[in-house]
Structure 1
């Protein structure tokens, strides 16, 4: 199962960590993993281009982490958009993907 952990400070997303494997198909043919990877990779690219001084982006073996260093309304809109996309995958593939929100 893929897990996304969203940590908040008040109403602001301060950290997103995505890890695991969906096991929804054979390796290389797992559409759930492919969808999550596409969403998160696109967000990483956008954050790197638009907010590289405001976030720490870490891509390790099987773990992707986004940490907010300098919060802003624009940055929160991007992170909220990422969360909305991930929630869509979670809704459709509840056996393979889980989001945990920590306040």
Structure 2
């Protein structure tokens, strides 16, 4: 099972996330759940960097990805980064609605 953890600040903004595990929906190379989660999360990190210039502190290895934001002023760039991260949560939630047996999303402060 893939476990998605979203860590929020007191103001509900996302400060970091981690994804770990394997869906085991299908064999390696054919697992659409793993592929979807990977595309959404890696794509979000790449979009944040390409569109806002903000580099997240990321760690990635087989079955694991984490991303943490640097301390940012609450300005327009911060809002753009948050929009991209919230979009990631929406996309992962949509995957979980269809494949809930293979992915779990946890959010905490």
> Does TM, scored on the shorter chain, surpass 0.5?
yes
Shift of 1:54: 4.8
The normalised TM-score by structure 2 is 0.86
Which residue of structure 1 aligns with residue 75 of structure 2?
A: none
Q: Contact 2:52–2:80 (CA<8 Å) still a contact in 1?
A: no
Gaps of 5+ in 1: none
1:97 corresponds, among 93, 103, 109, to 103
How large is the Cα RMSD of the aligned pairs? 1.4
Rounded Cα–Cα distance in structure 1 between residues aligned with 2:58 and 2:96: 23
The normalised TM-score by structure 1 is 0.90
- The count of corresponding residues between Structure 1 and Structure 2 is 103
1:8-87 correspondence to structure 2 within 5 Å: 8-10=8-10, 11-71=12-72, 72-87=78-93
Which structure shows the higher strand fraction? 1
Gaps of 5+ in 2: 73-77
Q: Contact 1:54–1:70 (CA<8 Å) still a contact in 2?
A: no
